[in-house]
Structures are given as structure tokens and as C-alpha cells.
């Protein structure tokens, strides 16, 4: 039915890895640079650690360098962030506004199991 899409799964995965991590990286930029809008909470040690992971792991996954460990760490940070910031307001993401971080958690787990794929430093190093 959609034959015109056959053969593009590697490119689609690369776009998912890159775009999703640019969005993830933006959370760290907001925390530390107050850009494009100010971060609404004072930074405590847990938020500083989360922001550092968002910046470092997000950048590493975008460029595809050490993708598996970076994604695994980002997945764990997202799981902790979900339960600390959202899970205390109820277990259901739709009710506690935790949909985004829950989705990041499982997206990063998938990336950690699949690796960087094409358009990545990891892929270039293999050649």
C-alpha cells in the first residue's frame, strides 16, 4: 500500500534519533541558559544533574557518538525524572503531565538497544 516508503527505515530511524534528541537537548539548554524561555524553577542538585545529562547525552546521541551508553543513561534519567516530578501526582501520564518524559524514557531505551545507525559518528567509526 505504501511501497514508496519501502527501504527508508534507516533514514527514518536516523531522523528520529536526531530530532528527538535536539528536543531533549533543548531541556538542558533551557535549564542552564534560560533560552528560549526562562526555566520556571530554581536549580537544585537533581535538576543540575538532569540538565547536564540532557546537554551531554542529548548532544552525544544527536551526533551519534557513544550512542548506546548515552541513551541508556538518558533513559534512566527520564525514568527517575518521571517518578520524582510526575509520578508523585498520580501514576497516569495523561493525568500528571508526564507523557513527554515517559516517552523519552522508552525512546532512549530503544536507541540504547539499536545503536546509532546511519548518519552517526559511531557508524563512521565502524567503516
Positions in the chain short of pLDDT 70: 1
**pLDDT tens, position by position, 38-74:** 999 999 999 999 999 999 999 999 999 999 999 999 9
CB 62 within 8 A of CB 77: no
Determine the pLDDT at residue 3. 83
Nearest to 104 by CA among 43, 53, 66: 53
For the chain, give the number of residues.
127
Amino acid at each position: 500500500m505504501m511501497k514508496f516508503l519501502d527501504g527508508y527505515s534507516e533514514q527514518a530511524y536516523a531522523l528520529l534519533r536526531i530530532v528527538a534528541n535536539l528536543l531533549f537537548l533543548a531541556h538542558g539548554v533551557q535549564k542552564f541558559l534560560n533560552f528560549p524561555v526562562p526555566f520556571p524553577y530554581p536549580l537544585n542538585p537533581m535538576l543540575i544533574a538532569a540538565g547536564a545529562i540532557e546537554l551531554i547525552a542529548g548532544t552525544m546521541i544527536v551526533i551519534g557518538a557513544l550512542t548506546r551508553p548515552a541513551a541508556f543513561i538518558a533513559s534512566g534519567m527520564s525514568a527517575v525524572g518521571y517518578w520524582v516530578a510526575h509520578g508523585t501526582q498520580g501514576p497516569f501520564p495523561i493525568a500528571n503531565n508526564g507523557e513527554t518524559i515517559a516517552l523519552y524514557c522508552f525512546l532512549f531505551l530503544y536507541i540504547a538497544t539499536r545503536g546509532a545507525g546511519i548518519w552517526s559518528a559511531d557508524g563512521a567509526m565502524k567503516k
